[in-house]
């Protein structure tokens, strides 16, 4: 039995062309909603991987780095982060966690811990410029917030939030290049250098980052480190 015989000619109020257009529009709407909801990140990362900009580095075959430097002007981190800890200043704004919002103006200081974060985090020397993503659990001054439905919950700040301390565990950083001062320790103390206003070029990095009072501490593995004119190490 064909569809035509089942539906019949008489039902054909719209012409075949109109029906086809409506169906194509429907498919476009559904596929765009589905794409942005389920696949956008995955497909983008697959494309990035396929053209050689993989966000992964092999930590076993990397340069072990521990550095205490002056903080770069700003930093953008996208993707999965195991844990974010932050101590933020009193501000008349809200921190949105799932369907709840927490007033950050009630206490002089708020200590937030975010677990299994997936999203975007960007910050400069004074403010968290963007925090928007999903998390499995959030602790706000020791009080736990977990998703009601069992999946991850959406978390975000509406505006820039001033912070005193920020620690991010197990993150990936894209190659970074800036002029800084401080100390760099490589491969468990085998190489130790102090730099003063030198240009540092750090390759892809995976590890922990801590920011406190303008200090920028990193600990993890990198594929490359260059202190221009002084040191150049690659894997």
Partner 1 sequence: MVRIHNSRKVYVFIYLMMILVAGLIIYIKVMELPLNKFALMGAVLFIVLGILITEICRKRIGYEITPLYLVHLKGIVSRKSKKILLESIVDIDLNQNLWQRLLGYGNIEVHAASGANIIKLKNINKPEKFVDLLEAQVNEIMNKGQKKALKKRIKA
Contact residues for partner 1 (CB under 8 A)? 5-8, 10-11, 13-14, 22-23, 25-26, 28-30, 32-38, 40, 98, 134, 149, 151-154
CB atoms within 10 A of CB 169: 17
Answer whether 80's CB lies under 8 Å from 92's CB: no
User: Smallest distance, Å, CB 179 to partner 1?
Assistant: 37
CB closer to partner 1 out of 73 and 151: 151
User: Smallest distance, Å, CB 170 to partner 1?
Assistant: 23
CB closer to partner 1 out of 152 and 223: 152
* CA gap 14, 24 in Å, rounded: 14
CB closer to partner 1 out of 23 and 53: 23
CB closer to partner 1 out of 158 and 215: 158
CB closer to partner 1 out of 134 and 204: 134
User: Smallest distance, Å, CB 8 to partner 1?
Assistant: 4
User: Smallest distance, Å, CB 176 to partner 1?
Assistant: 27
User: Smallest distance, Å, CB 109 to partner 1?
Assistant: 28
């Amino acid at each position: 039995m064909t569809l035509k015989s089942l539906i019949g000619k008489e039902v054909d109020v719209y012409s075949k062309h109109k029906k086809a257009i409506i169906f194509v529009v429907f498919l476009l709407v559904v596929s765009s909603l589905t794409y942005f909801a389920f696949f956008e990140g995955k497909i983008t990362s697959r494309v990035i991987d396929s053209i050689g900009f993989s966000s992964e580095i092999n930590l076993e075959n990397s340069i072990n780095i521990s550095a205490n430097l002056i903080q770069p002007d700003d930093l953008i981190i996208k993707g999965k982060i195991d844990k974010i800890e932050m101590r933020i200043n009193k501000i008349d704004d809200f921190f949105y966690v799932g369907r709840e919002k927490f007033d950050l103006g009630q206490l002089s200081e708020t200590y937030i811990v975010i677990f299994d974060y997936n999203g975007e985090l960007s910050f400069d020397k004074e403010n968290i410029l963007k925090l928007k993503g999903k998390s499995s659990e959030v602790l706000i001054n020791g009080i736990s917030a977990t998703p009601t439905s069992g999946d991850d919950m959406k978390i975000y700040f509406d505006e820039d939030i001033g912070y005193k301390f920020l620690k991010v565990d197990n993150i990936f950083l894209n190659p970074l290049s800036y002029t800084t001062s401080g100390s760099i320790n490589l491969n468990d103390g085998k190489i130790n250098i102090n730099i003063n206003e030198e240009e540092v070029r750090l390759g892809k990095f995976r590890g922990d980052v801590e920011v406190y009072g303008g200090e920028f501490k990193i600990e993890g593995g990198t594929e490359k480190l260059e202190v221009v004119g002084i040191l150049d190490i690659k894997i």
